[in-house]
């Protein structure tokens, strides 16, 4: 089926469900947002409305940093031969903040050929005494940032580049976010916001960087936090500030060291920073700064050393991304559980690919026979058990199809420290697929669950993690995208934290499986994997996905489609409702690893048509730990 037609059918199905669940007015409103986003202008789409900014300014009118009720945030900015027009835009963005709780600390390392930098700063200082300045010797960006910090008096610090622009509500929103964390009794030492790229005018942004809540595995692959990051000055000083030996990736290094102390971070999904794209900027690509990769790998290697974990840091699949090849602890055995009903051609392809390609040799395969009717199937089992050492077939004693019950039964025969749920219609592509899944789990501090990259036979993505809330319930990240791409913010090409992964290929620690009592058998066909992962996540464990374990999935060849069978369709609808009943609709719709400014209508990480949270300047900060 044509990809566009697939998406159109899925969107229509979602519209029907939304109408049933929330009524026609809600569906029409969402549809209007979709049309507006697709076909009309996007000017200033990430900025709060004029009335919102005016209300913030009115709330703070006549107040100072000392009596405005918000914590003071000192912004650290090294200057170096800054073009005058860029510098003026940056300084103006600070001067025109809606709240007075900011302090701008400038360390100017410009050479003698650029006296205009100091002249422009002194001009702005006459307008705003919250700008502090000193000339420094140029010792590199980390040392210059540390020099700016010596001017700071705020309880918090933030980092900003000299050629970028602050959103007008950056200090107000971050100040309110800190207070909100304190009110909730949550840690307030480290926060970050979303950001956007622009070339000339922040009212005409190129694209938004809409980030997940704190995602530790993602942070090891790239510095997704970037701007605007805010953290306690006392913590920065305790850590000794930024490290000159990591120049080029000094912020990534700092964030890793901060996380080691805080155990997590708070995310404010507001666009508070505009990153200028021009020749020579990091936002324009790391080709402009080739030393960045070496610095990033040092930062990551040092982080592993400090946290007592072992692995090798390598370049990732794309520039500015990285990969940690974790050392696997011990020699864990993996029990691969494969439900099967007839379809021995599919099963043979699956088994042959496992035995012929898998480099990790400590595994067993348990085929769970499920009501096969073809006598040839049972003859095949006997032959396969002779050909494949470590294969055994167990027979599920019940009738009908219940994916959860079948796998729960298979688990009883499993002897491994890890269980791998695997569909019979998948085929292994790379030899270290199972090793890679284990790498993510079988080390100190590893994840409890890991999912794999699954491709359709036509070389498009079938699964790159599961996002809850897509289509109202759950969907696959980057589904139907062509193989080989990086995805949104490298999220289809780096190890990722997710709320769930598909049960078509899911590795889980056996102890965790037992702790949550396996799959919920009331989810007979749909959402059993999502429910299972959410229960594991809610126990405090991590769920990750890796692009380095790759398989081809001949999806639904065994069972066929459900949408044309009224009985199956009714069962599917009941399981949808059960997902809401068990986990709560809000929990399903608000996936912490998916940004509220991204659409729920498709699986391509495109921008939502409903950006009211941004237009209203809504402060809803969300803290997560590791």
Give the whole-angstrom CA distance, residue 418 versus residue 329.
13
Residue 288 has pLDDT above 90, yes or no: no
Sign of CA dihedral 132, 137, 141, 147: negative
Q: 548 with 323: CB under 8 angstroms? A: yes
Q: What's the rounded mean pLDDT across residues 9-33?
A: 70
How many CB atoms lie under 10 A from the CB of residue 612?
12
Before 228, cis peptide (omega within 30)? yes
From residue 584, alpha-carbon distances to 244, 540, 579, 589 in Å are: 48, 18, 8, 9
Residue 338 has pLDDT above 70, yes or no: yes
User: How confident is the prediction for the chain on average, in pLDDT?
Assistant: 93
Give the whole-angstrom CA distance, residue 213 versus residue 193.
10
Residue 6 has pLDDT above 90, yes or no: no
Q: What's the rounded mean pLDDT across residues 584-596?
A: 96
Selection from 523, 360, 344, 518 nearest residue 439 by Cα:
360
204-228 confidence digits (pLDDT tens): 999 999 999 999 999 999 999 999 9
User: How much is the pLDDT for 15?
Assistant: 72
Give the whole-angstrom CA distance, residue 548 versus residue 109.
43
Residue 36 has pLDDT above 80, yes or no: no
From residue 464, alpha-carbon distances to 169, 291, 482 in Å are: 35, 30, 12
Q: Which residues pair with 209 in a beta bridge?
A: 195
Worst-scoring range by mean pLDDT, 18-22, 332-336, 441-445, 500-504? 18-22
Q: What's the rounded mean pLDDT across residues 261-273?
A: 98
User: How much is the pLDDT for 565?
Assistant: 77
3-state secondary structure of 105: strand
Residue 28 CA neighbour count, 13 Å, CB half: 3
247-262 confidence digits (pLDDT tens): 999 999 999 999 999 9
Q: Which residues pair with 275 in a beta bridge?
A: 197
User: How much is the pLDDT for 289?
Assistant: 64
User: How much is the pLDDT for 562?
Assistant: 56
User: How much is the pLDDT for 35?
Assistant: 56
User: How much is the pLDDT for 39?
Assistant: 47
Residue 8 has pLDDT above 80, yes or no: no
Q: Which residues pair with 497 in a beta bridge?
A: 544
Residue 41: which pLDDT band, with cuts at 50, 70 and 90?
very low
User: How much is the pLDDT for 569?
Assistant: 87
Angle between helices 292-306 and 250-262 (to 10 degrees): 20
401-435 confidence digits (pLDDT tens): 999 999 999 999 999 999 999 999 999 999 999 99
3-state secondary structure of 106: strand
Using the CB atoms, write b or e for 478-507: b if 16+ within 10 Å: bbbbeeeebbbbbbbbbbbbbbbbbbbbbb
% pLDDT > 90, the chain: 87
From residue 327, alpha-carbon distances to 358, 435, 494 in Å are: 18, 10, 18
Q: 357 with 431: CB under 8 angstroms? A: yes
Q: 496 with 512: CB under 8 angstroms? A: no
Residue 11: which pLDDT band, with cuts at 50, 70 and 90?
low
3-state secondary structure of 584: coil
Residue 32: which pLDDT band, with cuts at 50, 70 and 90?
low
């Amino acid at each position: 089926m044509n990809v566009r037609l697939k998406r159109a059918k899925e969107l229509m199905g979602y519209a029907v469900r939304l109408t049933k669940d929330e009524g026609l007015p809600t569906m029409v409103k969402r549809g209007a947002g979709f049309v507006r986003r697709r076909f009309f202008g996007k000017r200033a789409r990430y900025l709060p409305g004029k009335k919102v900014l005016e209300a913030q300014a009115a709330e703070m009118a006549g107040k100072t940093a000392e009596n405005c009720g918000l914590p003071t945030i000192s912004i650290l900015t090294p200057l170096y031969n800054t073009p005058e027009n860029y510098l003026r835009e940056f300084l103006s963005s600070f001067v025109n903040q809606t709240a007075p709780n900011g302090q701008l600390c400038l360390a100017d390392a410009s050479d003698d050929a650029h006296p205009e930098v100091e002249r422009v700063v002194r001009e702005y200082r006459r307008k705003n005494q919250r700008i502090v300045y000193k000339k420094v010797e140029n010792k590199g960006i980390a040392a210059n940032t540390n020099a700016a910090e010596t001017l700071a008096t705020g309880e918090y610090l933030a980092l900003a580049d000299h050629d970028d622009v602050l959103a007008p509500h950056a200090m107000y929103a971050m100040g309110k976010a800190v207070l909100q964390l304190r009110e909730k009794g949550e840690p307030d030492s480290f926060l970050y916001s979303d950001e956007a790229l622009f070339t000339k005018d922040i009212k005409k942004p190129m694209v938004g960087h809409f980030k997940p809540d704190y995602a530790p595995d993602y942070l090891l692959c790239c510095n997704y936090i970037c701007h605007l990051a805010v953290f306690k000055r006392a913590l920065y000083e305790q850590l000794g500030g930024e490290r000159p030996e990591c120049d080029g990736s000094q912020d990534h290094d700092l964030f890793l060291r901060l996380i080691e102390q805080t155990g997590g971070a708070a995310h404010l999904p507001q666009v508070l920073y505009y990153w200028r794209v021009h020749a020579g900027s990091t936002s324009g690509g790391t080709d402009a700064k080739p030393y960045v990769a070496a610095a990033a790998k040092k930062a990551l290697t040092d982080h592993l050393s400090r946290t007592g974990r072992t692995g090798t840091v390598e370049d990732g699949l794309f520039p500015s991304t990285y990969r940690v090849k974790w050392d696997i602890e011990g020699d864990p055995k993996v029990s691969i559980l494969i439900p099967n009903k007839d379809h021995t051609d599919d099963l043979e392809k699956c088994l042959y690919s496992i035995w012929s390609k898998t480099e990790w040799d400590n595994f067993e395969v348990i085929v769970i026979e499920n009501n096969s009717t073809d006598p040839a199937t049972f003859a095949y089992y006997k032959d396969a058990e002779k050909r494949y050492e470590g294969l055994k077939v167990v027979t599920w004693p019940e009738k009908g199809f219940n994916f959860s019950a079948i796998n729960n039964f298979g688990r009883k025969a499993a002897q491994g420290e890890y269980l791998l749920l695997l569909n019979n219609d998948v085929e292994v592509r790379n030899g270290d697929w199972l090793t890679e899944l284990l790498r993510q789990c079988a080390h100190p501090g590893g994840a409890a669950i890991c999912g794999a990259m699954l491709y359709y036979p036509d070389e498009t993505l079938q699964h790159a993690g599961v996002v809850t809330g897509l289509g109202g319930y759950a969907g696959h990240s980057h589904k139907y995208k062509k193989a080989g791409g990086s995805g949104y913010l490298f999220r289809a090409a780096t190890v990722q934290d997710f709320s769930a992964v598909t049960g078509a290929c899911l590795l889980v620690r056996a102890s965790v499986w037992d702790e949550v009592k396996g799959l919920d058998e009331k989810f007979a066909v749909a959402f059993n994997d999502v429910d299972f992962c959410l229960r594991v996540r809610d126990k405090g464990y991590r769920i990750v996905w890796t692009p380095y374990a790759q398989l081809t999935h001949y999806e639904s060849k065994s069972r066929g489609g459900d949408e044309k069978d009224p009985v199956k369709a009714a069962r599917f609808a009941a399981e949808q409702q059960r997902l809401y009943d068990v986990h709560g609709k809000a929990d399903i719709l608000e996936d912490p690893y998916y940004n509220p400014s991204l659409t729920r209508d498709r699986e391509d990480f495109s921008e939502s048509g409903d950006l009211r949270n941004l237009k209203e300047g809504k402060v809803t900060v969300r803290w997560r730990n590791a």
